[in-house]
Amino acid sequence: MWRFLAGVGSALALVAAGLFLFRSNAATEKLPPPPAMAAAMPEADAALPDDSPAATARTREQKRFDRYDKDRDGRITRDEYLASRRKAYTKLDTNGDGRLSFDEWAAKTATKFTTADKGRDGALDSAEFATTAVKRKPKRRVECPPATTTADDS
């Protein structure tokens, strides 16, 4: 029983210490004011536009909605919603009978296994298995223009 009470007491002490530490005001370092850029480069103000560019008003969800809404009537019918699934199903149904057998469903996986099995022994070793990893497209990298130097920087 004393262990239980000691545990509860230590937990309460930790909570109190945490509240004390997080509520304390941390000392912040005062930074010097930024340099006056307008006075140093008056020609830069003339080149800046009056308003900032606005982002597109369409959200990710609106774009997704538009991909499904093929007739652009602002509504997604059941046929529009299932169109992408039908295309995928049709690709899998190789004999066109409207039913998927296990072999039709697993055809891509079986082909991938056969291609990876270089030794043709019916089993994949670790090197062969590594070739079956999904190839992901790398994220697009945005190239920034090189920084320009002014006479003040040199």
Question: pTM score > 0.75 for this model?
Answer: no
Distance of alpha carbon 152 from alpha carbon 37, whole angstroms: 11
Q: Is the dihedral angle over the CA atoms 93, 96, 98, 100 positive or is it negative?
A: negative
Tell me which DSSP letter residue 98 carries: S
Interior/surface letters 30-39, b for 16+ CB within 10 angstroms, e for the rest: eeeeeeeeee
Per residue in 111-150, pLDDT tens? 888 888 888 888 888 888 888 887 777 777 777 777 776 6
Name, in order, each residue with C-beta under 8 angstroms of 106's C-beta and a sequence gap of 6 or more.
none
**pLDDT top residue among 16 and 25:** 16
pLDDT in tens, 22-67: 765 656 667 777 776 655 555 555 667 777 766 667 788 888 888 8
Cβ pair 76, 68 in contact under 8 A: yes
pLDDT above 70 for 99: yes
